[in-house]
Amino acid sequence: MPIFRETDAISGKQAKAYASINGRVEELFYAKSLEATIEKNKVDVPVLGKTNTPQRSAGWSGSGTMTIYYVTSVFRQLMRTYIQTGQDFWFDLMIVNEQPGSSTGKQVTHLLNCNLDSVIAARFDATSDDMLEEELPFTFNDYDITDQFNSINGA
C-alpha cells in the first residue's frame, strides 16, 4: 500500500504570484494568501417518475479573495480611475505553487480577466500590534493551468 511522503507536501509559503495589469507585470510579493474557487451553476431538471429533482450543470462562475499587506496603492488607484472615468479594469493573476525537494513538481495557474469587487480606501488601527492587511475579493471569467503537478506514487 503506498504511503504519502511528507517531502511531497506543498507549502503555501513557497508560492509566487503575479498580476498583469495594463501590460505591466506586478510581482505580488506582499500577498499573504489567495484562494480562487470555481463554482458550477446548476439547474433543476424535473423528471417524470422520479421523487427527487435531478440537476445538471449549466455554466460556472469564478471568484476569489486575495489577502495582501496594506503596502501598495496599485489596486486603490485602479478603483479610483474607475470611479472617475467609469472605465472598468481587468487583470490576470498567475499563481505558481512549487516546493523544492518535492517530486510533485510545480503547478502554474492563470486566473484570467479578474475584476475586483471592492478595495479599502483608507485604513488604520492604533489598537493592534498586527501589520495592516486588506482582503481583495474578485471574480474571474477564465482559467488555465499551464504546468500541472506530477503524479506521485508514494513510498
Domains by residue range for the chain, with CATH: 6-36+60-147 (2.30.110.40)
pLDDT digits (tens, 9 = 90+) for 25-47: 999 999 999 999 999 999 999 99
> From residue 110, how far is each of 37, 54, 66, 76, 93 by CA, in Å?
13, 33, 14, 22, 6
Residue with cell 490576470: 92
Which run of H or of E encompasses 43?
Answer: strand 31-44
Integer Cα distance of 80 and 63 in angstroms: 22
Question: If pLDDT is split at 50, 70 and 90, which confidence band does 93 have?
Answer: very high
pTM of the complete model beyond 0.85: yes
Joined grid coordinates for residue 70: 496594506
Please, are residues 26 and 39 in contact by the beta-carbon 8 Å criterion? no
